[in-house]
A and B are shown apart, each in its own frame.
Chain A
Amino acid sequence: MTFSDFTTLLPETVLVVWASVLLLLDAFILKARKGWTALLAAAGLAVALGFALAQGSGLGSAFGGMVVSDGFATFMEALAAASGVVGILLAYDYLKRLEIARGEYYILLLFSVAGAMLMAKAADLMVMFLALELLSIPLYVLSAFARKREDGEEAALKYFLLGAFAAAFLVYGIAMTYGATGSTTIAAIAAAVSAGSANMLLLALGGGLLLVGLGFKIAAVPFHMWTPDVYQGAPSSVTGFMAVSAKVGGMAALLRVLVLAFPQLGGQLTPIVWAIALLTMLVGNLAALAQKNIKRMLAYSSIAHVGYMLVAVVAFADAKLAPAAVAAVLFYLLAYAVTNFGAWAVVIALERAEGKGLEIADYAGLGRRHPWLALAMTVFMLSFGGFPPTVGFVGKFYLFRVAVEGGFIGLAVVGVLASVVSVYYYMRVVTTMYMKEGEPEARGDGWLNLSVGAAAIVTVVLGVVVAPAFQWALQAVLRL
């Protein structure tokens, strides 16, 4: 272990240490002043984000190849840290309104972000598993943060049980992979496969089980069952955060494992990923059609967005196309994250005590009462639906471009048609806001409004000025 091992893990270390310190500090912060905890947590995230960005395209691997710092990890870490910051911005006023303002919220959130960041860096399956648990366990707790609410407790328990189940799949997959190749390090697995010394049958089984475990984290169909209940039951600020951070972590691990460790398993895994992508798009979009509750609708829509991302992941085994596929997924994650934060911020602005204000019908008349909020929500819905000139459109364009170039034209056609279906339920929100009469109440502090406004502007700006962000995603290459 050398000093450089630790500098490689600096962003994660900062977060974990800072979260632990904050846990002690929080005891001395008066109950009415929990804003300080929020501020200190955000400061910690900002420092971690700074360190992550400073690493740039990376220092290489550390701890004997168990973690690696590359451009890919940096991109994902930045997204995870940003989602943490937004998770705090959304929560501050909201938690007070729901009378659940406690310092632990921010601390748990820091731990979870650290887990997501570590997942992006994990170059060894064991580290990946530890990171996944570090990401998930705080999320289980956060889901039940509105303690006395029954749906919150149900959500947390469901999430925990199914999460534990998925973790078991993951461990089993790791074990199989270890059995097949004699190592858990991604570089060693890849080397064993190309040397021909791996037991391919065992490896394919291991790969399949890993896919199940990670598929659960990113809520791909058929491992998505928990999503609507958890997204609905958890406090909205937690959902807004977790809808991005958990997917960032899961997608990071999935891409790294598939592209670097299993490119040789294309024959076995490509049809599986293809089918999962197809099902995820269809089930997510069709189920979202029937939702009346905005949180459930956004939950199913988040499933659908994972489906779109998987369309590009299908090309993982194509060595020529894989970098473009990875870049497309990263860019889409960015697009999804920005839009998602904005949408959840609007949901939080309209949510009232005891879960009122969460039906889509409650948005009636928003266009008259709060024109700016309605305009911002329209931008987010259009971006989710893939309309230009928003970032959601460009993101989809790149995803489907990978599918078309890889020869998966059928999948691309299903994907674009599924997105037409999605337009129906996204536009229903817009229709309700502008074309139905009502007296919705919206509230929120400056931080929340800032989140809404900034997300709306970024959604449009990234849809027009695409090159810098996409260039960043393109440079975010994976390396062994």
Chain B
Amino acid sequence: MDFLMNPLNLMTFFPLVGVAIILLIPRERKDAIRWTAVITSLVSFFVSLQMLMAFHAQNPGFQMVYDKVWMKTGGFEIHYALGVDGLSILLVLLTTLLTPISIFSAWTAIEDRVKEFAIAFLVMEVGMLGVFLALDLFTFFVFWEFSLVPMYFIIGIWGGPRRTYSAIKFMLYTMVGSVLMLVAILWLGLSQGTFSLPELLAKGSVPAHLQTWLFWAFALAFAIKVPMWPLHSWLPDAHVEAPTAGSVILAGVLLKMGTYGFLRFNLSLFPEASVRFAVPIAVLAIIGIIYGAMVAYAQKDFKKLVAYTSVSHLGFVMLGLFALNARGIAGGILQMINHGISTGALFLIVGIIYERTHTRDLSAFGGLWKIMPIYGAFSIIVALSSMGLPGMNGFIGEFTILMGAFESPVLGPAFAISAALGIVLAAVYILVMLQKVFLGPVKEKNLSLKDLNWREITVMAVLTVFIFWIGLHPAPFFNLMMPAVEKMAGGLQAAVLAMH
């Protein structure tokens, strides 16, 4: 009972209650299964709001910590430890928000094996929340690896024609990185005598020769997940084949596990190595920004276009994090949230039209604005937010990141200017996309398309609220993370000074 009194445990494991209930519902009663899944994930969402209420934003440390010895064996202890701080709280809220949204969005899109689908999503939520909340390297790895399995099923069972290939590719790619991280975790934990993150942080920095190896072992795992150029090739396959709801979660949350990993482990545990390797990482990030944007522009498939924009946007996040100052990191975190909302919404937009026309070929559309005005309005808002139009969320994130990079002690104006080129390119692919889909003459076969139904409007409206909220009044979001970010930036600053 003590276990479930902690909001973090309750939030993380409550979806399993839904799984148990769904197992008892006969598989023909699809609506009952769907409602159970949505309500269960909404309960987790409400618990996460309760966590938000109890969260002290001024406190930079871990809060609501639950820490128990999991296994104490042969000279070393492994803990089950969860906790939340300013770096993770927004990602936790994003996860609990996007999970019900994506289950809700799949109401009519998924008709086959609804039971398994609902179970996969709820199990997925457990894994994702665990990753963001884990305060012990072992606990973290368990959730990290565990979260692969439901996504594998989501892509592989409900995906497009090349689903089995994409599912296994997704899994093997991620695993290559993560098993090397496991060796690094063992190495770090055994050399420092603990696997607990707060204890590792309190111990101070890891010896320099070890830092280099460990930094790259962790970085490889996270860079594959982000994905950073040139490790991104699993992403277009996974995204294009995944069902809409799967793409929303994949882009919205799973990719953030990579950037969050950099933030939580690389930057905080290996500050000297982070300073030393900030430039190469930032260069890869810039390449990702520009490459992603250019490849997105060249796509004829609506969904592939959105998939490549992720490579570009997450390049911005990485650039912000490796600016190694408070502004860059804060911008990076906010941009993770922005990307989750905007790209999640973009995938929903693709999904909505795909469900109606069964095609994603950009040339098959045109003039949809006239046929589906509500759909058109939401699409334009979302597309412009993804492009970074002032007044919307994307602008705040990208602007903060560019400022951070500009002022950065390790990067500098050249990086900010090259990244700004990415914003220009984003305008190109977004506007071309809008033009192809919404302007121009209407195709005859599209004349009878129905506009959004109440479910779709609800989902899009929720996301749109956040687009404008973050765009017009970002202060509450920054306030939540700032103390923790400043603490981390302080540590990095010290490392910079020590290096020069």
Contacts and interface: CB of A to CB of B under 8 A. Distances in A.
Interface of A: 323-324, 327, 367-368, 382, 387-389, 393, 397-398, 400-401, 404-405, 409, 412-413, 416-417, 419-420, 423-424, 427-428, 431, 434-435, 466-467, 470-471, 474
Interface string B162-196: 01100110011001100110110011001000000
A431 B149 contact: no
Contact of B145 (A393, A401, A412, A470): A393
Given A401-B186, A416-B179, A416-B180, A388 B142 contact: yes
Contacts of B152: 427
Interface string B369-401: 000000000000000000000000000000000
A343 B354 CA distance: 40
Contacts of B187: 404, 409
Contact of B175 (A389, A420, A434, A474): A420
Contacts of B138: 397
A420 B178 CA distance: 10
From B116, B182, B187, name the one whose CB has the most chain A CB atoms within 10 angstroms: B182
Contact of A393 (B71, B142, B156): B142
B439 interface: no
B500 interface: no
A412 B74 contact: no
Given A431-B167, A434-B157, A470 B71 contact: yes
A416 B157 contact: no
Interface residues of B, number: 35
Nearest to A390: B146
A467 B176 contact: no
Contacts of A470: 71, 73-74
5 contacts: A387-B148, A412-B186, A420-B172, A466-B70, A467-B72
Given A393-B142, A434-B157, A435-B156, A417 B176 contact: yes
Interface of A is mostly: helix
Contacts, number: 88
Contacts of A382: 149
A404 B183 contact: yes
Contacts of A409: 183, 187
B153 interface: yes
- Please list the 4 inter-chain residue pairs (A to B) with the smallest Cβ-Cβ separation, ordered nearest first: A416-B179, A388-B142, A404-B186, A466-B71
B74 A327 contact: yes
Of B146, B175, B180, most A-chain CB atoms within 10 Å: B175
Contacts of B143: 388
Given A387-B149, A466-B71, A435 B163 contact: yes
B75 interface: yes
Contacts of A474: 73-74
Nearest to B153: A434
A471 B73 CA distance: 7
B173 to A, nearest CB: 10
A387 B186 contact: no
Nearest to B142: A388
Describe B's contact surface by its main secondary structure: helix
Contacts of A419: 179
B120 to A, nearest CB: 11
Given A324-B74, A404-B187, A417-B180, 19 more contacts: A327-B74, A368-B113, A387-B149, A388-B142, A389-B142, A397-B186, A400-B186, A401-B186, A404-B183, A409-B187, A413-B180, A416-B179, A417-B179, A419-B179, A420-B175, A423-B175, A435-B156, A435-B157, A435-B167
Nearest to A470: B73
A62 to B, nearest CB: 29
A400 B148 CA distance: 21
A427 B72 contact: no
Interface string B127-168: 000000000001001110110110011001100000110011
B183 A400 contact: yes
A416 B182 contact: yes
B433 to A, nearest CB: 31
Contacts of A420: 172, 175-176, 179
B172 A424 contact: yes
B175 to A, nearest CB: 5
Interface string B31-73: 0000000000000000000000000000000000000001111
A393 B149 CA distance: 14
Contacts of A417: 176, 179-180
Contacts of B183: 400, 404, 409, 412-413, 416
Contacts of B156: 431, 434-435
Contacts of B116: 367
A459 B183 CA distance: 23
A55 B71 CA distance: 26
Contacts of A401: 186, 190
Contacts of B75: 324
Nearest to A398: B73
A104 B164 CA distance: 45
Contacts of A424: 168, 172
Contacts of A413: 180, 183
A416 B182 CA distance: 8
A362 to B, nearest CB: 17
Contacts of A398: 73
A405 B190 contact: yes
Contact of B168 (A388, A427, A466): A427
